[in-house]
Amino acid sequence: MYQELQQHYGYLFEDELLQEINNVGTYRDIPEGLKLIEIGDYIKSMPLLVSGAIKILREDDEGDELILYFIEQGDTCAMTLSCCLGNSKSEIRAVAETDTKLIMIPVSKMEEWLGKYKSWQQFVLQSYHNRMTELLEAIDTIAFLKMDERLFKYLKDKAMVNHNDLIHVTHQEIARDLHTSRVVISRLLKTLEIDGKIELHRNNIKVIDL
């Protein structure tokens, strides 16, 4: 684990902190599709992403979903931070978008380190800042873009975090993430294909105009 820590977080944290993380952190290998956090969960530890990507979702009373954003390596989930430090329930759902490696840090330690390591404090504040920015971007997307633009952005983002322009997904799954209906997505996808921006296949979409 120390190798990967060094590699992905070495530029952020001093050796002593890396050592501490190495001592108390739990290394976890997460398969694609696994639900990491459910809405209402109490969070007992905080993940540091080593590789892979995680999809963050919001849900309303009726169970309708909406994707907020993806987080990638070097990130942590500021929602988790928020919940840990506030000792409150999770407001979001987190699902592994790809196979993912991460290191779990117990809450107690992250609080202790806040006072102890300046670099940790910086990291936590920076994470809050990043997540805030991404939430604002999510708001921009929902509020200012039309569905066809949102759809194309979604496909590009998904291609990005998967490091692959061929996306394995069904129309129905997209519809759930974007909080609309399958028919609407099929219709808009067809238009995107006609415009030469994507290629449609069963269970797969190839993003051309990246």
Partner DNA sequence: TTTGATGCGTAACAAAAGTTACATTACTAC
Partner DNA sequence: GTAGTAATGTAACTTTTGTTACGCATCAAA
Residues that bind DNA (CB under 7 A): 146-148, 170-172, 179-184, 186-190, 200, 202-204
Considering the complex, state which of residue 51 and residue 170 has its C-beta at the smaller distance from DNA. Answer: 170
- Rounded least distance, CB 94 to DNA, Å: 22
Given its phi and psi angles, is residue 49 left (phi above 0), alpha (psi -120 to 50 degrees) or beta?
A: beta
Match 């990005």 to its residue by tokens: 160
**CA gap 185, 121 in Å, rounded:** 43
Given the structure tokens 């633009």, which residue do they identify? 149
Interface residues with its own copies (CB under 8 A) are 58, 60, 64, 66, 68, 78-79, 82, 85-86, 88, 91-92, 114-115, 118, 121, 124-126, 128-129, 131-133, 135-136, 138-140, 142-144, 179
Q: How far is the CB of 65 from DNA (least distance, A)?
A: 13
Dihedral sign computed on CA atoms, order 95, 97, 101, 107? negative
Among DNA, its own copies, none, what does residue 103 contact (CB within 5–8 Å per kind)? none
- In the list its own copies, DNA, none, the entry touching 148 (Cβ below 5 to 8 angstroms by class) is DNA
Q: What is the CA radius of gyration of the chain?
A: 18
Locate 202 and state its tokens.
Answer: 């069963």
